[in-house]
Structure 1
Amino acid sequence: MVPVSTQNPAHPEGVPSAPGAFLQDRLAGWVSDLTTLHELTERLAGTSTLDGALQELLDAGAALVGASRGLLVLEPADGRGPSRTIGLGLAHAELGHIETVPRSATAHGRFLDGLPGTDGPVACPDLLADPALDPRCREVAALLGHAATYTQPLMSATTGRLGAAVWLYDEPAEPLERQRHLVAVYARHAAEHLARLLELERARADAAVIAEELLPVRLPRVPGVRLAARHLAAPGGGGDWYDALPLPDEALGLAVGSVGGSGPSALAATGRLRAGLRAYAVLEGEDPVAVLSDLELLLRLTEPATAATALYAYCEPERRTVLLAGAGHTPPLVTGDRRTEFVETTLSAPLGMLSCWEAPSVEFTPLPGETVLLYTDGLLRRTGTTRDRAFARLRSAAAGVPKALRQDPGAVADHILRAVLPDGRDDDGRDGDGRTEGVALLAVRFDQDHSPPGTRR
C-alpha cells in the first residue's frame, strides 16, 4: 500500500513561519501527492483483468482516505453486467450482512439506483450519532464495528455509472479535503480503466457464447460406443472445435480441429469449416482423405489467408474399426487397461498451407473397453512445456486414470484435463507464453459388451 503524505508544516511554537518556508511546504506536499497518484495509477494500469483492477482500486482508495476496510460494488448502469461485490478486510459473511441493509439506506445504494442528488462522494462521519439512520444499517454497523463511511461513485465518460466504492472507519472520522481530492482524481482515472476492462470482458464472454453455439448441442447415441466432449474456450474466442455425427449403417463421423487466430474472424471460419465437414462427411464419410481434401478446397475458397488443422475419423462401432486422416493435427491417444499409446499417423501439412492437400489414411482397431481421445493442439500448448514433454504428460495422465473411472468417457476426459493443464481444469486460456489457447477434447469409449461383427442391435 502506497502511503499518502499527511505532513503539515511544523514550526516551533511562537515562531512565525516565513512565506518562503510555507510555499516550500505546500510545494513539497503537492509533489508528494502527485508522486502517490502516479504510483497508484501505474499499479492500476498494470492490471489486465477486471477482478484485479477492482481489488487494486479498493486497496488504493483505502490508502488515500486512511481506511482499513471497505467494499466495492460493480453494477453498470446499462444492466449488461457483470455485477460483482468485493471486500477489503471483510469476510464473506460480513459482506452478506452489509447486503441485508436496504439500498435506499446507504449512500452507495442510492447512487447505484440512480436516485437524485447522489452523483458525488458522500461522507458519513458518525453513523451511530445520526438519528435518521436506518435501524438495520445501525444494527449492521454495530455488528461489524464501523462508525463512519466514505462513499466514492465510479463514473465513466464513455459508459456512465459503473459502481461505487465504500470505505469504513472504526472510529468517527472523515477524509481531509486534500484526501477527498486525491481519491476523486484517482477514481476518475480508475473508472476509465474499468470501462475498458469491462468491454473487454464482455467481448470475451460474447465470444465464448458464440464458440459454444458453434459446437454440437448434443452428442449422438450410437450402439457400441459412448461419447463425451469437453471444450475450454480461449478468452479471445479461438477456433478449437469438435464434432460427432451419425452416418448410415450405424457408422459414426468424428472430428476435431483448430483454426488459426482468435476473435470474430476465427469464430466465423470455425463455423464454416465445421458446417462444411458435416456436409462432406455425409457425402463421402467412408473416405476421410476425400473429406479433408474437400475441406481444404473450401478453406482456400472462403478463408484464403487462414490455416487450420483437422482430424476426421470414420468409425464403425460394430466392427470396432476407426479409419482416420489428419491435416497437421495431433495423433489420437488410445487408453485402456492393457495399453496407453498414440496412434501412428502420417505426417501432413495443415489445411491451407499447400495448393493441394492429400495424405494417406490410417486404420486401427481399439480393444473392447478402450477409449480413443481426439484433442486439439491447444491441450499440449497450454501445458507450458516443450512439445515432447507435453505429449509425455498427456500419455501419463491417460495411463493414470483410475480403473473405477475408465468406464465413463466424461470422467476420463475430466481426469486428463485436471492432470495435464498446469492449474487443473481452468478457463483462463493462457499458456506458459501468455498466448490464448482453446482446447477441444473428444473421448470415444468402445463398450465391453460389443456385438459380434455382422449383427445389429
Structure 2
Amino acid sequence: MLDIPSSVRVDVEALLAAQNHMGVCDAIEQYAPVGKPDTMTAPHFPKVAGIDSTVPPPAHTVAPASPAPAPPSSPGAPGAPGTLIQDRLAGWVSDLTTLHELTERLARTAFMDDALHEVLRAGAALVGARRGLVVLEPADGLGPDTTVGLGLARADLGHIETVPRGATSYGRILDRTDRTGEPEVHADLLSEDGLDPRHREVAARLGYAASFALPLATEAAGRLGAAVWLYDEPAEPVERQRHLVGLYTRYATEHLARLLELERARTKSRTIAEELLPPRLPRVAGVQLAARHRTGPRGGGDWYDALPLPEGALGLTVGSVTGSGASAVAAMGRLRASLRAYAVMEGEDPVAVLSDLELLLRLTEPARSATALFAYCEPALRKIVLAGAGHSPPLVIGERRTEFVETSLSAPLGMLACWEAPSVEFSPEPGETVLIYTDGLLHRSGDPMDRAFARLHAAAAGVPRTIRNDPGAIADHVLHTVLPDGLDAADSDEDVVLLAARFE
C-alpha cells in the first residue's frame, strides 16, 4: 500500500481491482473522502454542467464488481498503484470535461430541431457510432411528433419507418408502460434469432449491423422520445460509454422538455396571430390582392387587412403594435377590429380613421404605441387616398416606374397628445401594383434603414416582366430578394407583412 494520508481512506488494491468495472461517477462516489480531508492531499472533483459527482449510476450501468486482491507491484513499475491511480483520475477528469463541453453545446440550442441534432451528434461521439436517429413522441400525446436523423437521408428514415413499430428499438422503448431507463442493445442485428424480416431487410439495405437505443425520459419530464445510434459493424458500447451517454441523455431530456414547452407556446401564439388576421382577401372589381405574413417565434403585433366598403370602394391597411408575445397579439387583434369599424363609418377620410384609432389606443392601451397606414381606394377610378402614422411609404411598381409614394412625416399612434397628419392622394396607372408593408421587412434584413430602403427599391425594380401581372408573385419576389438566404422564413423578433394591390 502507498503512504496515503489516513483521512483519504482509499483502499488502493480495491481501486485497482474495480478500475475496469466502474464509471467515473460511481468511482468518485465509492471512494469519496471520509471526514475532513487534508487541504493538499484530498482530491476535489467539481460539479460540471450540472452533473453531481456523487450521482448514482444510471439503471443501464452495471454495478461495480466486488473488490479482489491485486498482485503486488513495485512503486516505480509502470503498473504501480500510484501510476494507476493517476491514470484513473486523469480519465475521470477527461470524462467530466467531455460531458461539460457537450452539455454546454446543448445548452446553447434554443430550438427543438437544433437540440435534437446536437443530441444525436453528442451521443454518437460518446458511444462510438456514426449514424443515428431521434424519435420525438411526448407521452402526453400533445406533440409535436418528429423524427430527426444523423447520417440518414429522409428516404432512409422512411425505410426505417416501414419496419413494424414493435420490431424497432425506439418502438419498444416508446410503447413501454413503465418509465425504466433500460437501453435496447442489439450487438449483432443480422445474426439475431427472431429478428423481424422487414427489419433485417432494412438493416442490410442501409448498411447497419448493430444498434444502441436509450429512452429520452426522466421522472420530472416523463418520456419524450427515444434516441437510437447505429453501427456499421457488430458492436456495442462498453460500460464506461453507457454510463457517460446515460448521464448526458438525462441532462438532454430536461433541456428538451424545456424547449418542448417553449415550442408549444410559440405554436399557440402563432396560431392565435394567424386566426386574428383575415382568412382570405376579398374580391373587388378592378383590383387584385395578395398578402404575405411572416411572424416571429414569440408572435408579434403586425397586421394587415382588406375590407370592401360602400359604393365599390376598398380599404387597405397594415400596421404594427409595439412588443411581442401574447399581449402584443391580443392588442393587435383589438386595434385591427376597431380600425375595421372606423373604416366602415368614415373610410373616405383616412386621417379621421387613424385619429379615432389613436384616441382608442391612448385610452385603452396607454403603455403601447403603434404604427399604421390606411388607404381608401376607388378601383374604378384608380384613385387612392391614404394616411400614415409613423409608417414606411408605399411602393408603386409598374412598367415605367418604381417609386415610393411621397407621404408626410408623422409620429406613431400613442406618442403624442393628439395625432394628426395630412393625407396623400395619388393614382396608379393600369397594370401597376401598390405594395404596402411593415417595417419588419426592413429591420429583418439587418441593414441600416437607408440601405434597406435601397434594397427594397432594387428588388421591386427587378421584378421580372413575366410575373408583373400576379401580385402574389411580385410579393414573393420582393420578399425573397430583400431577405435572401432564408431570412424570409427564419425565426426572428421582427414580423413581416406585405400587402400587394394590382390595379387593372
Specify if TM > 0.5.
yes
Which AA in structure 1 matches 2:498?
A: L
Asked if structure 1 preserves the Cα contact closer than 8 Å seen for 2:160 and 2:202, the reply is: yes
**Structure 1 gaps, min length 5:** 1-5, 431-435, 448-457
Aligned with 1:277: secondary structure?
Answer: helix
| Cα distance in 1 between the residues matched to 2:218 and 2:443 | 38
Contact 2:221 2:253 in 1 (8 A): no
Match of 1:181 in 2: 243
2: CA distance, partners of 1:223 / 1:29: 77
Alignment match, 1:446: 503
1:168-317 map, 5 Å = 168-317=230-379
Report SS of the residue matched to 1:257. Answer: strand
Structure 2: how far apart are the matches of 1:374 and 1:156? 50
1:437 — aligned with what? Answer: 494
Q: Greater relative contact order (Cα 8 A, min sep 6): structure 1 or 2?
A: 1
- Secondary structure of 2:227 counterpart: strand
| Residue in 2 that maps onto 1:100 | 162
Change (3 A) 1:443 1:71: same
Tell me by how many angstroms 1:81 deviates: 1.7
Q: Deviations over 1:131-163 (max 9, x none)?
A: 122222122222222222111110144431111
Which residue is equivalent to 1:18?
80
Secondary structure, counterpart of 2:228 in structure 1: strand
Once residues 376 and 385 of structure 1 are traced to their aligned partners in structure 2, the CA distance between those partners, rounded to angstroms, is 15
Q: Which shows bigger deviation, 256-265 or 125-134?
A: 125-134
Write the distance in 2 (CA, Å) between the matches of 1:192 and 1:157.
10
* Partner Cα separation in structure 1 for residue 490 and residue 154 of structure 2: 24
Question: Residue type matched to 2:169 in 1?
Answer: A
- Find 1:43's aligned residue among 105, 116, 132: 105
What does 1:62-77 align with in structure 2 at a 5 Å threshold? 62-77=124-139
Following the alignment from structure 1 to structure 2, what is the Cα–Cα distance between the partners of residues 349 and 76?
Answer: 48
Contact 1:321 1:363 in 2 (8 A): yes
Residues 257 and 310, structure 1, Cα contact 8 Å, conserved in 2: yes
Check the 8 A contact 1:236/1:262 in 2, yes or no: yes
**1:306-325 Cα distance to aligned partner (Å, 9 max, x none):** 11000001111112111111
Q: What residue identity is the alignment partner of 1:438?
A: D
Counterpart code for 2:497: A
Alpha-carbon offset, residue 35 of structure 1: 0.6
The Cα RMSD (Å) is 1.9
Aligned position for 2:385: 323
1:110 corresponds in structure 2 to 172
Return the letter of the residue paired with 1:140.
Answer: V
C-alpha separation between the residues in 2 aligned to 1:97 and 1:371? 48
Match 2:485 to one of 423, 432, 441: 423
Q: Give the drift of 1:83.
A: 1.7
193-202 vs 59-68, which deviates more? 193-202
Match of residue 455 from structure 1: none
Does residue 452 of structure 2 align to residue 395 of structure 1? Answer: no
The superposition leaves residues 101-147 of structure 1 with CA deviations (integer Å, 9 ceiling, x where unpaired) of 11111221111123458642121112223212222212222222222
Say if 1:147 and 1:169, in contact at 8 Å, map to a contact too: yes
Shift in CA distance, 289/157, structure 1 to aligned 2, threshold 3 Å: farther
Amino acid at match of 1:437: E
Which has the higher mean CA deviation after the structures are superposed, 110-119 or 96-105? 110-119
The more displaced of 82-91 and 250-259 is 82-91
Deviations 1:412-456 (A, max 9, x none): 1111111111325732143xxxxx101111101110xxxxxxxxx
Q: Is the 8 A contact 1:158 1:195 kept in 2?
A: no
* 1:72-112 CA-partner distances (Å, limit 9, x unpaired): 11111122222221222223322222111111112211111
- Hey, what's the Cα distance between the residues in 1 that align with 2:292 and 2:303? 10
TM-score, length basis structure 1? 0.91
Verify: 1:34 aligned to 2:91, yes or no. Answer: no
SS of the equivalent of 2:388 reads: strand
Measured against aligned partners, the alpha-carbon deviations of 1:281-325 in whole angstroms (never above 9, x if no partner) come to 011111111100100011111111011000001111112111111
Name the amino acid aligned to 2:131: R
Contact 2:99 2:244 in 1 (8 A): yes
Give the structure 2 partner of residue 379 of structure 1: 441
Q: CA deviation at 1:326?
A: 0.5
Instruction: Specify the alignment match of 2:414 in structure 1.
Output: 352
Cα deviation for residue 193 of structure 1 reads 1.0
- The 1:228/1:425 distance shift into structure 2, 3 A limit, reads farther
1:370 aligns with 2:428: no
Over the matched positions of the two proteins, sequence identity in percent amounts to 72
Deviates more, 1:93-102 or 1:363-372: 93-102
Q: State how far apart, in whole Å, the 2-side matches of 1:428 and 1:343 are.
A: 29
| Aligned positions of 1:127-142 closer than 5 A | 127-142=189-204
Deviates most, 285-294 or 168-177: 168-177
Given that 2:181 and 2:214 are in contact with CA atoms closer than 8 Å, whether structure 1 keeps it comes out as no
- CA distance in structure 2 between the aligned counterparts of 1:227 and 1:16, rounded to whole angstroms: 82
How many residues are treated as equivalent by the alignment?
Answer: 432
Q: Is 1:411–2:473 an aligned residue pair?
A: yes
**Which shows bigger deviation, 398-407 or 322-331?**
398-407
Distance, in Å, in 2 between the alignment partners of 1:393 and 1:406 is 19
C-alpha deviations, 1:27-57, integer Å up to 9, x for none?
Answer: 1111111011001111111112211111111
Aligned 8 A contact 1:382 1:429 in 2: no
Higher mean alpha-carbon deviation, 345-354 vs 214-223, is at 214-223
The answer as to whether partners of 2:374 and 2:387 remain within 8 angstroms in 1 is yes
Instruction: Call closer, same or farther: CA 1:16–1:328 in 2, change over 3 Å.
Output: closer
The runs of at least 4 aligned residues of structure 1 exceeding 6 Å deviation read none
Separation in 1 of the partners of 2:188 and 2:350?
A: 76
Q: Distance in 2 between matches of 1:320 and 1:89?
A: 57
CA deviations 1:369-394 (Å, max 9, x no partner) are: 11111100001111111111111111
